[in-house]
Structures are given as C-alpha cells and as structure tokens.
Amino acid sequence: MPTFVVLGKFTQEGITKIKESPQRLGAARKVAKSVGAEIKEFYYTMGRYDFVAITEGPSNEAVMQALFTICSVGAVRTETLVAVPAEKAAAEIIKKLP
C-alpha cells in the first residue's frame, strides 16, 4: 500500500479551537478508514508545520478524497508527499538508472 507524508498547518479556526484537536484527529482517522487508508503515525511539530502524519492508503485518489474531506472542515491545510521506501528505491528504481 502506498505511503504518504502529510504535512499540516492549523488554520486560524483550527488554532482558535485547538482543544478540539484530539477529537478532530479521531474523526480524521475515521475518514481515512472509510476510504481504506490509515493514519499510521501522527506527530505535533514545531516550526514550519504544526503536525506530520504518516499515512497509508490504497491509492492517491483514496488519500486525496480523505484529505479533501478532512480539510473541508476548515481547521487544517495540508501538503502531501508520496513516500517511496529507500529499500524499494534502491532495489528497483536506482538499478534501472542508465
């Protein structure tokens, strides 16, 4: 299953209602599950982003659907990266390089 790194920032509404963040994370986990995805790890962070989530999903489209649903609430904005494990990159992709 593909892995995604989701970098997130709270919107003004999200930070104003920060005490609701644990409940929103629970709701986000349910949304992810509804499309066959899973939030494997979640970290609050300091710096440019307010949180990082490591997510697995059946497809880009499924994860995109979940993120659109989660972001439509208005508490967060995300930037998502598709992650390729180093072992896979080395074993399959790098060996094919000219």
Assign residue 36 the CATH number of its domain. Answer: 3.30.70.920
pLDDT of amino acid 35: 98
In the chain, the number of structural domains is 1
Q: How far apart are CA 30 and CA 17, in angstroms?
A: 20
Domain range for 64 is 3-96
Distance from the Cα of residue 24 to its chain's centroid:
14
Task: Give the containing element (helix H, strand E) for 39.
Answer: strand 38-44
Residue-averaged pLDDT of the chain: 94
Q: What is the pTM of this model?
A: 0.89
Taking only the tens place, the pLDDT of each residue in 2-43 is 999 999 999 999 999 999 999 999 999 999 999 999 999 999
Instruction: Using the structure block, give the residue that is written with the tokens 């072992």.
Output: 87
